[in-house]
Structure 1
Amino acid sequence: MCDIKLTLESEGKDLLMTITPVEGQPKANIKKLQTAFKLSEYSAFLLIDGAMALLLEEVAKANENDEKKENSGTSLIIAHAVDASLTVTIGPENMSVTLELTAGYGGKQIKNANVIEILKENNITKGIIKENLINIVKDGIHLQSGKSITTEIARGKASTSGKDGYIKYLVDDPADRIMCPKKLDNGNVDMRELGDLIHVKTGRKLAKLIPPTAGVNGFDVLGTITDAVSGEMSVLEESDGSSFSDENNNILIATIDGMPKHLDNSVTVNTLLEVENIDVGTGNIRFDGSIYVKGNVCEGMELSASEDIVIGGIVESASIAAGGNISIALGIIGRQVYEDNHLENNTVLQAEGDVSAQFVQYADIFAKNDIKVTQYISHSQIIVEGDLWVGNIANEKADGKVFGTSVLAGGSVRVGTLGSRCGAMTNLNLNYWVNTAEELKISASEKADKIMRRLPRIYKLLRKANNLKDENTQQIDRINQALQQHLNLLGKLNKNWLDKESTINKHLETFELSVYKSILSGVNIEVSNKTCAFKRDHEAAQVKWLENKISVEPIVN
């Protein structure tokens, strides 16, 4: 058999294989060469593809050209040692570093010092994850040649923005308490218990301004500090019936006895009239301030206030008007009566703010802001400039019912069930802003026509006055002033119309009608110039205005 010898060259990096023929012994072949390599101490070296085949060709050529038939060896490098390697990848904005370790072929292993060195070379100084550094070196020792492992070895820290300042209200709002009646020890709720914080005394703390926080600075893996953004300052303001108690304007206190009401940046305290019931004994009441009715508003009575009205019982066939919110702990019960040979609801509520109640039946309600009803609305006329919610306010999804009712809404509507199985028609019209704009357009057009008819006469008077002597300067000033007033009014009318047009477009893009349980047959929905009539029952659905048409999409629970 031929002699096969393996030796190292180039400082131990290259593996040289030498084949020396032995007279009378079999010639070398690929299998013998591979076996010799695998059984050697250099078997972990990276074998050069085709090197053994080339070596055999060189041996064959040497044998043919050797005339003296002397036994001489033929050598060729067939493999070389490859050290394990490290590759660093720095993530976006220098916020992370990953390290890839690739196992070598019989070369040097990666040591902790190698990892530290590559960190220094790449200027990685912050957020180093020491445990991951140690583990990747340990795992690399047992890694198969040529295989790689990757781990995150450093991580930056994003700056944390400060929290915005806010107003912490120190008294409850009666409108909120109405919708959250007191829970009794037996688990039931007392719908008439409105709590003890509806009335405040002079000097009572109403709200506190909580300052913003500064936030926490961050850093990237290269050690660069990223400054935190401080939270925004909130503003606490004095209002009617309240003022600051300190020079820092951080605490708001009541300056009069009365009913508190939360505002966006303040708490107002309104003069409070407190009565047991509104009935024939009290007569109709009109009050400049807020009214708290502990009990009921009885049939045929009228109640109005310049501010909020809070009612602890029910409203029965009455008329109520408020310059603020109307909050009713129980419900609204009306009935239909004949007026001018047609049926009308004899219960009317008008609020410049919100209206809230447990239930509504046979009533006409107008709210400048939102309407929230906990259980149901039946056989009523509802006009709401803001949003309508029918259901338990503690739930994420509305679960109340609306049936036999006409609703004109300027915001979003969320209910549990829309319509009735008894065949009562339910109409939902989302054209509040369209109708309002149309009314404004007609009114503005009439006013603009009057102004345009007056302008030629004003210009004529102005030309005539300018041709007179200087002593008519006062008359010229009065005419100029009248002209300017008319032009300003004309511009204001145009601006109001453009603002309404913008509101209409925004409403169509953003409103949502969400019915979380079912839409029953007999429901009509009108948006812009389109109508959708439901002639069969539908499961939970969401109605939107898309591509100039009404879109009905199922809600997946």
Structure 2
Amino acid sequence: MTIIEKVEIEAKNKKIALEEAYRIFNEKVDDEFSLEDISIELLEEKKKFFGLLGGLNSYQATLELIEEVESKDGEFRVEISDDGIFLIVKQPVGNGRQVKMDAIEETLEKKEIVEVDYTAVSEALTLDGEKIKIADRKAELDRDASLEFKLSKDKMEAYISHIPPLGGRGFTVEDIMEELNKEGIVFGIKKEEFTEIFNSKKPLEDFLIAAGQDPVPGEDGRIDFKFDINSSEKKVNLLDDGSADFRNLGRIVNVDPGDLLATKVLAVEGEPGKNVMGEDVAPPPVKDIDIPVGENVQLSEDGMSLTAVIEGQVVYNHNSISVLDVYTVRSDVDLSTGNIDFTGSVIVSGNLNDGMEIKSQGNVLIEGSVYGGNIEADGQIIIKKGFIGAIKGTLRAKGDINVKFIENGTVITEGDLIVQDAIMHSTIDAGNKVVVEEKKGLIVGGKIRATKEIVAKNIGSNLATPTEVSVGITPGTRDDYNNKNNLFKDKQDKLDQVIKNIKLLKEQREKNNGKLLANKQDLLNQLTRMRFSIAAEIEEIKEDKKKLESKLEEGKEGKIKVQDTIYTGVIVNIGTLVKRIDEVNKFVQYYLDDDQIKSKPYS
């Protein structure tokens, strides 16, 4: 539909007339429009005295709006009644598509309608909504409606397809409900949803007519630990002022005799479901679990709780819960105490002095400093003050190491090395990360290596002190993996040969009524022992391979992050690639991409 409004305006020029017309039309017309929808025509150009221009001219402004009409495609339907077969065509609206003759012919063929009057069909195509007879009804061609039911393999879903009748008997919703019952589909029937969409005159394909009820899974038995089993993985905590607390990491969990360590939570059986045939569907089976008992703990008679027997550190290694003894030295470790070699954790109230050693199967906590001493721990090492290695001192731990500063020392850890102040002229090898980001946050001199990441405020110095920082795998790690892989294959081949020889000797024994010559029996015994020995070696090699494979994957993601400055003279290694820093950079991180060491802003 087109809306046209006109108005005459007197104005000095065409631009002013257009603006005035826009104002007037805006008051009269509710529809949105723009200046481009208004046309201006000059009716009379008026002049002042003596033929001079400059008076108010007369203009006619016309607003023409074309109202948009929603387009709709044409459609048709075929109706069959006792009086014949009729075609009703609805014409398209707007830019909708016309009904095509071939679409009508296809429908008539599907309905098996013959002897069609195509003149009448052509007439119907020109009309809008009128019912036009296009053929006589032939009773012998009538066809009843048909139904098809499909059942999912697990019987949890049933689908229905419907083909409408051609002059024959159709189905009502209630008829279909009866058919479902005959098919044995009796549970979860979606009658209400089906009633809304079902039309007896229209086809329907694979409608979900029934759905079963899934069983409710139960809960497996579990262990309720009364201590933090992930204490060794805790991250640095942030204080209220935003600074990092590197000292109070809460990584050692101490218990007293009688402390409750764990309780058992019984498994809870699930609830059965039901399929569309009305049959029960069993829930997945649940698993029970026992509390894993280790050393220095006591399990209750009913197996439902575990308590500590001694004072010490509680540890969980997935196979057992144990309490390790804690050995406390309330002084320095020196010649008066001797070296310490202990099965549990060790706490030293003072210092570890020059030349002294501590070996622990747990954690080691030094309240003071370490001066040229050596510490070896299966757990973590925490040194509240500094580690002055004096070139000969070494810290070695399977867990994390936390220390205020390191000078002229060697540190080897399978976990993280967290240093509050500085690492100076030392050799560091960390299986995970090296973090030096509090206070000075300085790495200067020596060689620092980590598998995953090195983070520091400053690396190197303005004196170009030789400093090497490395992340990712080393050539040695890759060689170790290749060697393990080759050893694994050799052991497998050797085991296959041993098993083959054992079979041959056993076959000979069966042929000789269960007897072998003495030397062959000795050989069989030797091969049997060898088989078990090689199999054990293979399992150990497989575990080593898994650890090395993990390191190889982690090495690809290695990063070196500098929060402040990295100086010239620093050598950056990522994997097997090397980059020498030739100019001072700030707030930068280095990473590996496309077999190149690249840099980007610190994040």
> Into which bin does the TM-score normalised by the smaller protein fall?
0.5 to 0.7
2:347 maps to 293
Give, as a single letter, the amino acid of the residue that structure 1 aligns with 2:400: V
Match of 1:137, SS state, is helix
Asked if 2 retains the 8 angstrom alpha-carbon contact of 1:278 and 1:298, the reply is yes
RCO higher in structure (CA 8 A, sep ≥6):
1
**CA-to-aligned-CA distance 1:474-520 (integer Å, 9 cap, x gap):** xxx9x99x999998997787557645654565456554125275699
Q: 1:415 to 1:87 in 2, by over 3 A?
A: farther
Map 1:41-120 onto structure 2 (within 5 A).
48=113, 50-52=115-117, 76-77=136-137, 86-101=147-162, 110-120=171-181
- Per the alignment, residue 166 of structure 1 pairs with 222
TM-score (norm 1): 0.57
CA distance change for structure 1 residues 230 and 115 in 2, over 3 Å: closer, same or farther?
same
Structural mapping, 1:148-159, within 5 Å: 148=204, 151-159=207-215
Distance 1:196 1:114, change over 3 A: same
Q: Return the offset for 1:321.
A: 3.6
Aligned mates of 1:441, 1:99 — CA distance in 2: 60
**Judging changes above 3 Å, is the alpha-carbon distance between structure 1 residues 135 and 168 closer, same or farther for their aligned structure 2 residues?**
closer
Match of 1:225 among 263, 280, 287: 280
How far, CA to CA, are the matches of 1:283 and 1:305 in structure 2?
14
Summarize the Cα distance change of 1:512–1:381 in structure 2 as closer, same or farther, 3 Å threshold: farther
- How many Å separate the matches in 2 of 1:275 and 1:118? 86
Give, in whole Å, the separation in 2 of the partners of 1:121 and 1:331: 84
CA distance in 2, matches of 1:538, 1:182: 23
| Shift, 1:355, TM fit | 3.1
Structure 1 residue 117, shift from structure 2 partner: 2.0
Aligned residue type for 1:415:
E
1:414 aligns with 2:470: no
Q: 1:156 to 1:389 in 2, by over 3 A?
A: farther
Per-residue CA deviations over 1:17-44 (Å, capped at 9, x if unaligned) read: 9xxxxxxxxxxxxxxxx9xxxxxxxx9x
Relative to 1, partners in 2 of residues 1:114 and 1:486: Cα closer, same or farther, differing over 3 Å? closer
Q: Which residue number corresponds to residue 474 of structure 2?
A: 429
Counterpart of 2:415 in structure 1 is 371
Deviations 1:188-219 (A, max 9, x none): 66544466983322111112233333334344
Say which SS state the counterpart of residue 93 (structure 1) adopts: coil
Q: Aligned AA for 1:166?
A: R
User: 2-side partners of 1:419 and 1:298: how far apart?
Assistant: 29
Aligned twin of 2:402 = 357
Secondary structure at 1:515's aligned position in 2?
Answer: coil
Of 194, 197, 202 in structure 2, the residue corresponding to residue 139 of structure 1 is 197
Deviations 1:240-270 (A, max 9, x none): 21111x2122211111122222232432222
Shift of 1:333: 4.4
Q: What does residue 202 of structure 1 align with? A: 257
**1:213 to 1:430, Cα distance in 2 relative to 1, 3 A:** farther
Q: Is the 8 A contact 1:242 1:253 kept in 2?
A: yes
Distance 2:280 2:188 in 1: 12
Residue of 383, 394, 407 corresponding to 1:348: 394
In structure 2, what is the Cα distance between the partners aligned to 1:213 and 1:402? 59
Offset of 1:357 from its aligned partner? 3.2
Aligned-residue RMSD, C-alpha: 5.8
Give 1:414's aligned amino acid. Answer: K
| Structure 1 residues 113-135: Cα deviation after superposition (integer angstroms, max 9, x where no partner) | 1331232233223333x3xx313
User: For the residues of structure 1 that align with 2:482 and 2:330, how far apart are their CA atoms?
Assistant: 42
Aligned AA (2:256): K
Residue in structure 2 matched with residue 253 of structure 1 by the alignment: 307
* Alpha-carbon spacing, 1:415–1:323, altered in 2? closer, same or farther (3 Å): closer
2-structure distance, mates of 1:118, 1:380: 85
Q: What TM-score comes out, normalization by structure 2 length?
A: 0.53
Letter in 1 for 2:468: M
Number of aligned positions between the proteins: 430
Distance 1:291 1:498, change over 3 A: closer
Distance 1:425 1:92, change over 3 A: farther
Measured in 2, the distance between the counterparts of 1:429 and 1:106 equals 83
